[in-house]
Structure 1
């Protein structure tokens, strides 16, 4: 699924994968999130509810530009640096076509489906 992002007033595109968690996120769109920095590698924000983790894919390490869901905390993570080693708790939901520098400094993001 293609998505459109508004990052600090600028548009960017992205793609959600076909995982159950990504489809669950798609059902919440449009979604506006306030973001904060976490560990100097990602920006995190909290959707209005936890996403499903049923049928989660095999763990993989997050790369810069990835949109992920950290199940224990219920937060979305937007990586602007490559992430840590693969973890079963971190579900990759898709990828954002935005420069890492832009992702690193954003404080607010809106995610909506494209038509």
Structure 2
């Protein structure tokens, strides 16, 4: 599924994978969330609820441009740098254009909506 993130007014496109967690995330859209920096690696925001992570693979090593759900804290993580493997992390999708990754590092607010 294609989605659009509006980061501080700038549209950025991404594609969700076909996992149960990504489909559950898509069901929450549209969302508008405040973002905070976490470890100078990712921007994070609390989701309204924990996502369905059934059948999720072992925790991957996130890469810059990944959109993920950290299930233990019920949050969305937008990686602007490569991260470290963390149990409970589920990759939901990825930014379509790597040139947009820099926008994640400074974003304070994101609106996420499905693209038709």
Question: Which range, TM-score by smaller chain?
Answer: over 0.9
- Do the aligned partners of 2:31 and 2:112 also contact (CA within 8 Å) in 1? yes
DSSP-derived class of the 1:109 partner: strand
DSSP-derived class of the 2:21 partner: helix
Query: Please, which runs of 5 or more residues in structure 1 have no aligned partner?
Result: none
Name 1:91's counterpart in structure 2: 90
* RMSD of aligned Cα (Å): 1.1
Query: Please, which runs of 5 or more residues in structure 2 have no aligned partner?
Result: none
TM-score (normalizing by structure 2): 0.93
- In the TM superposition, structure 1's runs of 4+ consecutive aligned residues that sit over 2 Å from their partners are 97-100
CA distance in 1, matches of 2:96, 2:104: 10
Name 2:110's counterpart in structure 1: 109
Residues 15-39 of structure 1: per-residue CA shift (max 9 Å, x gap): 0001111000000000111000000
CA distance in 2, matches of 1:97, 1:2: 9
Question: What number of residue pairs does the alignment pair up?
Answer: 114
